[in-house]
Structure 1
Amino acid sequence: MLDDTDRRILRHLLADPEAANADLVERAGVTSASLWRRLEKLRAEGTIKATSARIDWRKLGYEVQVSLRFNLDKADPRAFDDFTAAARAVPEVTEIQTFLGSVDLRLSVIARDMAHWQQIYREKILTLPHVSDSDALMLVATIKETQEMPL
């Protein structure tokens, strides 16, 4: 269970993931030893999964982002596993999510431009196995994107 100090450390870490430990010590109001012990504990118990880089795909030339929603033909008991294995193999797929409800899975796909998207769609997406229905949503703008949580 997290206490107020753990929550304060996490809040400051989420606000500035690149902050030096000395800055976190000052902002969270803890000693260096306490910060180190708490961060190690949070990592060991899986509260902090990883420190990672967030890439702006547009800066790398990927101007198109599409969200694809799929329903699978569940007559084959391997449908889900076959589909996810094939989707994982598509380099332009940046995210795979599963759902309960009217949609089985969602893929996020990036492409350099519309011609590249069309190529990915025809050669890689349309060949995914066990698809009974799909829908595509093209990203126009991101209004809010955050990893912050109300801690």
Structure 2
Amino acid sequence: MHLDDRDRRILSLLQADSRISNADLAEAVGMSTSALWRRVRQMEEAGVIERYGVVVNPTAVGLGFQAIVHVQLTRHDPDKIVEFIRAVENNTDVQDCYATTGQSDYHLRVMCRDLDAYNQFLESFLFRLPAVASAQTNVVLRTVKRTRSVHF
């Protein structure tokens, strides 16, 4: 789908506040509400807009520990990789997972209650996965920038 400047403006406004009313959004971009609704619907159907949601403050809900975990696999057996990926996808402590180039095969962003909970994550989950050879942890001391919006 080709995005014009108006589409980009709609997306920027929706990323800033997904609860904005259609009337307010239409006014902000200079469209009628029905034309805006059709445009947003097209972007949803094209997969440009994946979903709507809220941004939660992790500390406010008791998730005071955050780490970036660099994972190396023992071998690159396709079955073991699929098992690793499925396990990571289903673990609620893992917020993000990236397959990357470089020394580590995967990078996880993990959030949990505290250091004890993180240790439990390692012992009961990560180190029990057959594909995992090792993991190096970088504890997040403070969040400098946290962006959920895509800027284009």
TM superposition score normalised by structure 2: 0.88
Report how many aligned residue pairs link the two structures.
151
Q: Residue 103 of structure 1: SS of its match in structure 2? A: coil
| Counterparts of residues 36-75 of structure 1 (less than 5 Å) | 36-75=37-76
Q: Residue 126 of structure 1: SS of its match in structure 2? A: helix
Unaligned runs of 5+ in 1: none
Output the CA distance in 2 between the equivalents of 1:73 and 1:126: 11
**Contact 2:126–2:132 (8 Å) recurs in 1:** no
C-alpha displacement of 1:55: 2.2
Alignment-derived partner of residue 146 in structure 1: 147
RMSD: 1.8
| Counterparts of residues 1-151 of structure 1 (less than 5 Å) | 1-151=2-152
User: Could you give the per-residue CA deviations for residues 16-71 of structure 1, whole angstroms, max 9, x where no partner exists?
Assistant: 22211111111111111110010000001010111022222211111101111112
**Contact 1:64–1:139 (8 Å) recurs in 2:** yes
Moved more, 66-75 or 23-32: 66-75
Q: Residue 143 of structure 1: SS of its match in structure 2? A: coil
1:7 partner letter: R
**Contact 1:65–1:108 (8 Å) recurs in 2:** yes
2:8 partner letter: R
Output the CA distance in 2 between the equivalents of 1:75 and 1:21: 48
User: Could you give the per-residue CA deviations for residues 59-117 of structure 1, whole angstroms, max 9, x where no partner exists?
Assistant: 11111011111121225332211211222343322222212333211222222112222
Output the CA distance in 2 between the equivalents of 1:33 and 1:75: 51
C-alpha displacement of 1:7: 1.4
Output the CA distance in 1 between the equivalents of 2:130 and 2:20: 44
Output the CA distance in 1 between the equivalents of 2:38 and 2:94: 37
Moved more, 90-99 or 104-113: 90-99
Unaligned runs of 5+ in 2: none
1:33 partner letter: S
Residue 51 to residue 73, structure 1, CA distance change in 2 (3 Å) = same
**Contact 1:67–1:106 (8 Å) recurs in 2:** yes
Q: Residue 68 of structure 1: SS of its match in structure 2? A: strand
Moved more, 13-22 or 23-32: 13-22
